[in-house]
Each structure stands twice: as C-alpha cells, then as structure tokens.
Amino acid sequence: MIDHFGINCTDWAKSKEFYDTVLGVLGYGRQLDFDVAIGYGRDGKPDFWIADASAGDAGGPNREIHVAFQAADVDAVKAFYDAAVGLGAESLHEPRLWPEYHPGYFGAFVRDPDGNNVEAVFHGAAG
C-alpha cells in the first residue's frame, strides 16, 4: 500500500546528520540526494524522504507530509488523479513519467484536504 513517504525538516543540517546516523545503523543509506531532499532506503529504492523545510513553500505552521501509494499500473495512477481532482483536490502534478527518479516511474501528485502532498505511483511504466 505505502510506496514511500517524506517529512519536512526545519533544521536541515541536524536532520541530515540524524537520519544518516540512525538509519545507517539499521542498514539504510542515501539512495537519492537532490540537495534539498534525500531519499533513504536500500538497493536503490528510497522509501523514506526528508526535505529541507526552508526550500520552496514547504515551511510554515502546517508543514505538509508526503505519502505515495502503490498503484497497479498507469491506468490506476490516472484513475487516482481523476478521482482526487474530481473531489476538488488541488493538482500538484498531472500523471506522467518521472525519469529523474528512475526509468518507468509514473506518478501523479495532488494535495489532500489538509494540505498534504499525496501521490500514486507505478514503477513499471514503459518509457
């Protein structure tokens, strides 16, 4: 069900040190690093993300979280997006391939009623 999730961090330097250390002793490491967001996991798959809350508009009193749900295929990602937008959700990113994450990554992002960044993702899309 849950593919990956992420949190925003107000003290970026301390958070990087903390998660590098505590996840490292559990056998997890940095899988992707975009300077303002780091994905931790194993075997090239980031399951847990931290982001610099001061970068972009992620800060403020109600900092959003990010959660991505696994989808069975591209059509399921599109159906998720259409259902969410049909309920009035803000579109963050329409369904598309995201090759910067990895080949075959097909996802769509919306904002839920509480302002959280919610995604559906399928990892096996044809490019």
**To the nearest whole number, what is the mean pLDDT of the chain?**
91
Do 72 and 57 fall within a single domain?
Answer: no
C-alpha distances in angstroms, 62 versus 8, 68, 101?
10, 19, 27
- With a threshold of 0.75, does the pTM exceed it? yes
Amino acid letter, 38: I
User: Based on the structure, what is the number of domains in the chain?
Assistant: 2
Q: Which of 85, 102, 103 is nearest to 94 (CA)?
A: 85
Do 14 and 71 fall within a single domain?
Answer: no
Domain around 21: 1-63
> pLDDT, tens digit, for every residue of 90-102?
999 999 999 999 9
C-alpha to C-alpha distance for 1 and 123, rounded to whole angstroms: 13
Do 71 and 127 fall within a single domain?
Answer: yes
C-alpha to C-alpha distance for 47 and 109, rounded to whole angstroms: 17
Do 86 and 116 fall within a single domain?
Answer: yes
| Residue 57: predicted pLDDT | 55
Do 48 and 30 fall within a single domain?
Answer: yes
Do 23 and 78 fall within a single domain?
Answer: no
Are 118 and 109 contacting, i.e. CB atoms less than 8 angstroms apart?
yes
Do 27 and 72 fall within a single domain?
Answer: no
> For position 103, which CATH number holds?
3.10.180.10
> pLDDT, tens digit, for every residue of 12-35?
999 999 999 999 999 999 999 999
> pLDDT, tens digit, for every residue of 36-55?
999 999 999 999 999 998 88
Do 125 and 71 fall within a single domain?
Answer: yes
Q: Which of 115, 84, 83, 81 is nearest to 96 (CA)?
A: 81
Do 45 and 15 fall within a single domain?
Answer: yes
Do 42 and 78 fall within a single domain?
Answer: no
